[in-house]
A and B are shown apart, each in its own frame.
Chain A
Amino acid sequence: MLTFALPTGRSFGECVQILERSGLPVSGLKDAGRSLVVEEGAFRYILSKPSDVPAMVYYGAADVAIVGNDVIEEAGIALAELLDTGLGRCRMAVAGPPGIAEKFRGEASRMMGLKVATKYTRLADKTFACWGAQVKLLKLNGSVELAPALGLADCIFDVVQTGRTLKANGLTVIKETLPVSLRLVAGISSVQLRWNAIFGVVDAVSKAVEAER
């Protein structure tokens, strides 16, 4: 039996769709209700909060998973990235009031000391360090877009999909960074020990993704 971890929340529907198009049994997933473990045929699905998915795979509770690369990067957990499904496309970006955009033009020193609100502190730290700027990070767990208006931060670092939430809060995208999409991942031990079983899934999902394109 192959154990598959899937993120609950907004990505869940897309995950189920791609698995269905890949020929995997998903009828139980469509009707999961409050169940967090669903067994169908040769698969066990674990439904988990997205941020917990990498650890579940790392510790071997799941062999494979579908999860956004923003979540993987933020967790900092070494996983084998097998396939980019291309689903759930969005991007990590710095956003803020239009006036702050000027700080992001020219020398990195202009960004020094900026207060940045984010759910993704690890990824933000890495990103600003790459740009050569040391900033003050404010960890928020939700409604990050509120932070500049409340005077808590100069800008935000967050996932942007349509940009509508940003616009509604008077913010604009200042600098885009990491393209984000749902990735098929596996634990390194699973890749080395259960490759034949995993490869079947990779192949099936890969074909479904190609057909979609």
Chain B
Amino acid sequence: MSFMIRDPRGCSNIGGALAANMEKCRSSLMHLFSLYGYHPFSPAEFQLIEDVWDKISPSRARRLIPVMSPLGEACVLRGDLTLSAMAYLAVHHTQSEWPLRLSYADRVFSVPAPPKGNLEESQVGVELIGCKEEGADTEAAVLLLRALDLLGIENAVVVFGDVSFLSCLFADLPAELSARLADALIERCYTGYSALLDGASLPEERRALLKRLPMLKGGASVIDEAASLLDTPDVLKPLRRLCAELSSLGYEGRMLIDLSFVRDLGYYSGVIYNAYSGDGTLLGGGGRYDGLLSDGGIGAKSVGFGLNLKELASQCAAPRQVPLVTLWCGGCRASEALRYADALSRKNVQFELSWCGDKEESRESARRRGSLWWADLASKSAFMFACGRAATLKEFEEEALSC
């Protein structure tokens, strides 16, 4: 082609099978979420810098993409859907309407972290906000696993950690050391974590425990191993309860525990998780973020997750969508063709209209595009490509539309 309209670096137009797959994943998941009582939510594209900046970690804040709105407000392109959900909740719902269940399928924008180069990512997910009772964590985790099952990504694994466990573990340490240890774990710098402990003035037994616990990763039995090392094993109660619930639902083989798991988002406060496909691709994650509500003086639970729609679509192979029939409209009036097309659409039949003037060209084009049938509405004849058989339009309807 002689002209070219380039995408800005970090952006891409997605079409073809991947786009079709993304739409299939999106609609399947949004339907699933609606069955569980989640209401679709359409977030604003811009967020005010002043409202977002102090609610996420500095490293995440630095990756926000600032823009000045045409109305003169300092904004960022939406970098986080959870904060959008919280903003919506604050303005549109009173506490008497809680808990609020929101679902979304939209884009988030951020400066890419190397080696990635994409500025935008399509996410689909849920937020359960303002739940006073236990059970919110389990609801969200089960919904995540159900979502992956629904898309046929059944060998997916969810890795769980607990931010509150690490907070308890570091609680009696000097504040600066505690913060630096948490930073080392966020960066997954185990050598730095270990060096910090070596340099700290701590009883040898305590140092060994702090070194040992983050190294515990694996199946649910890791929780028992950690509990046996702790004076206060109750700090593992939220994680233990969640794992027990998921095990009783048959998900034991798809859970892993990582006791050093911390997110760099800054607002998570309890159980967190990452979902991976069988080949180790990160599909998304989520967790508990009560802190965003408690900052506003509200004591309630909030939990949610987001999944990368493009990765989901890449993981589940949907069959190629081909039209059942190509309707050649060249030999009849447009209104007549569209009336027939309307009747097919009401029967949920996928078709394609061919306005080509040449009958043979239309049929050849239909064959190339994978259509199963080709129909000439003027002569009321049809042709089935698979066996090269000519038929009447009535025979096509009887054979192809009967089921």
Contacts and interface: CB of A to CB of B under 8 A. Distances in A.
A54 B115 CA distance: 9
B189 A81 contact: yes
Interface stretch (B223-231, B273-281, B289-297): B273-281
Contacts of A43: none
B251 interface: no
A79 B280 contact: no
Contact of A193 (B159, B188, B191, B192): B159
Contacts of A80: 188-190
A195 interface: yes
B191 A81 contact: yes
Interface string A76-105: 111111111000000000000000000000
Contact of B261 (A187, A189, A192, A199): A192
Contacts of A84: 191
Contacts of B113: 76-78
A4 interface: no
B217 interface: yes
A55 interface: yes
Given A81-B191, A81-B192, A84-B191, A55 B115 contact: yes
A60 interface: yes
Interface string B249-261: 0000000101001
Nearest to A69: B191
B187 interface: yes
Contacts of B280: 60, 187, 189-190, 193
A75 interface: yes
A188 B282 CA distance: 10
Most buried by B among A187, A188, A195: A195
Given A60-B279, A193-B280, A199-B215, A188 B115 contact: no
A202 to B, nearest CB: 9
Interface string B196-216: 000000000000000000010
A107 B131 CA distance: 55
A138 to B, nearest CB: 21
B114 interface: yes
A75 B280 CA distance: 22
Given A75-B115, A77-B114, A82 B190 contact: yes
A58 interface: yes
A201 interface: no
A133 interface: no
Contacts of A60: 279-281
Contact of B188 (A54, A83, A188): A188
A196 interface: yes
A58 B115 contact: yes
Given A58-B115, A77-B114, A78-B113, A191 B191 contact: no
Contacts of A81: 187-192
B218 interface: yes
A55 B117 CA distance: 13
B153 to A, nearest CB: 14
B157 interface: yes
Interface residues of A, number: 26
A54 to B, nearest CB: 8
Nearest to A199: B215
A74 to B, nearest CB: 10
B394 to A, nearest CB: 56
Interface in B243-269: 256, 258, 261
A84 B194 CA distance: 10
Given A60-B280, A189-B280, A192-B274, A79 B191 contact: no
Given A77-B115, A80-B188, A82-B191, A193 B215 contact: no
A52 to B, nearest CB: 10
Contacts of A193: 157, 159, 256, 276, 280
Interface in A31-80: 54-55, 58-60, 75-80
Interface in B272-323: 274, 276, 279-282
A95 B119 CA distance: 37
A196 B190 contact: no
A58 B159 CA distance: 18
Contact of B258 (A59, A76, A192, A196): A192
Interface in B4-38: none
A183 interface: yes
Interface in A170-207: 183, 187-193, 195-196, 199
A77 B187 CA distance: 10
A54 B187 CA distance: 15
A80 B192 CA distance: 11
Nearest to A184: B191
Nearest to B186: A78
Contacts of B114: 75-77
Nearest to A84: B191
A191 B188 contact: yes
A192 B115 contact: no
A83 B191 CA distance: 5
Q: When A and B form their complex, which 5 residue pairs have the shortest distance between CB atoms, in order from nearest?
A: A80-B188, A195-B217, A76-B114, A192-B159, A189-B280
Interface of B: 113-115, 157, 159, 187-192, 215, 217-218, 256, 258, 261, 274, 276, 279-282
Interface of A: 54-55, 58-60, 75-84, 183, 187-193, 195-196, 199
13 contacts: A54-B115, A60-B279, A60-B281, A76-B114, A78-B187, A81-B187, A81-B189, A81-B190, A192-B258, A192-B276, A193-B256, A195-B217, A195-B258
